[in-house]
Amino acid sequence: MISNLVFLKNNEIDKVKWDSVLSKAQFSNYALKSYFLDAISPDWSALVYKDYEVVFPLTVRSKFGIKYLITPIFIPFLGFLSVDKNIQEAVVDHFFFEIYKQVKYLNLFLDPFTSSVVKKSEYAQRKCQVLKLDNAYELICKNYSVNHKRSIVKAKKSELVTNTSNDVNTLIQLFRDSKGGSLKELKASNFESLTFALQETLKNNDGFIVECKNEKELISSAFFAVCGSRITYVKGFSNEVGRKLGAMHFIIDQVVKQYSEADFVFDFGGSNNEQVAKFNYGFGAKDVFYCHLKQNYLPKLLKLFKS
């Protein structure tokens, strides 16, 4: 059994070291910043190997006295944070051995790097979309679809104006309004946590909001997080006018242009939904695969509720 693997409660985690390893990790996941986890899952704990060489966040919850581990709402992935892309198989196995000792039920979305080091038989494959920004903008936008190019031209002809903003509250409220009934299962507390997490992201200069206006009317807005060499679309909205005038196409195109010719990857935020994926493909995005890991060791009676 691998030694030097320890379980740490939240107040025992060295948050400076945690964020340092994240900044150099194989997969730059903005949602695993310590302040983001603190906002979304305040009691998160961690498994830490040696001196933070490899770490894994544990967003464990409890119901009826039974502990379970899930990927929280508004966190796209959990996974290993490691500078080394070659994590020993024995280390990976020991991490999961310790996780299985603590919880009876897992439902995890694991980031693409972590998905590449876990045993393939243990998960279902899903996909998200990313766009490399290492070329000149003129070369990147050549790969946009005809419809996307048309939407961006329409936005420019409509003289839409963009600006950066710190107004997280308005973004979240308009996002909730635009989604309507599809978010009924979420509580007000979930959105309060997200609002605080995004505000902390802005305070730490790890993200930005781009708003789009038609004259003085706010018609679209989007939050982008920056972590390492990855820019991620986090949340956004467009009202009916914004959708008609291609406002979100316009916003994303401007972000792509701003970060082009650099060692960045634009992450569209992950979607296994074909309709959303089609929108992402329109910018020339490519699929990246990740895993959905489910393990159920609940008593038989409770398994009925977690099938």
pLDDT (0 to 100) of residue 300: 67
134-263 placed in CATH 3.40.630.30: yes
pLDDT in tens, 208-219: 999 999 988 999
Query: Strands 60-63, 54-58: parallel, antiparallel or unpaired by DSSP?
Result: unpaired
Distance CA 137, CA 133 (A): 8
Q: Is the pLDDT of residue 233 over 90?
A: yes
pLDDT in tens, 36-81: 999 999 999 999 999 999 999 999 998 888 899 999 999 999 999 9
Maximum mean pLDDT: which of 61-65, 157-161, 301-305: 157-161
Helices 168-179 and 188-203 cross at an angle (nearest 10°) of: 140
pTM above 0.85, yes or no: yes
130 close to 28: Cβ distance less than 8 angstroms: no
pLDDT (0 to 100) of residue 182: 64
pLDDT (0 to 100) of residue 129: 96
Whose CA is closest to 163, among 239, 221, 243, 202? Answer: 221
Helix (H, G, I), strand (E, B) or coil at 189: helix
Model confidence band, residue 307 (pLDDT cutoffs 50, 70, 90): very low
Residue 231 sits at the vertex; the CA angle it makes with 76 and 32, to the nearest 5 degrees, is: 40
Q: Quick one: how far is CA 32 from the chain centroid?
A: 9
Q: What is the per-residue DSSP string for 22-85?
A: HHTSSS--GGGSHHHHHHH-TT-EEEEETTTTEEEEE-EEEETTEEEEEPPTT---B--EES-S
14-29: average pLDDT: 94
- Average per-residue pLDDT in the chain? 91
Domain residues of the chain, as ranges? 5-127+290-303, 134-263
For 5-127+290-303, CATH number out of 3.40.50.2020, 2.40.128.110, 3.40.630.30, 2.40.50.100 equals 3.40.630.30
Asked whether this chain's domains 5-127+290-303 and 134-263 adopt the same fold, the reply is yes
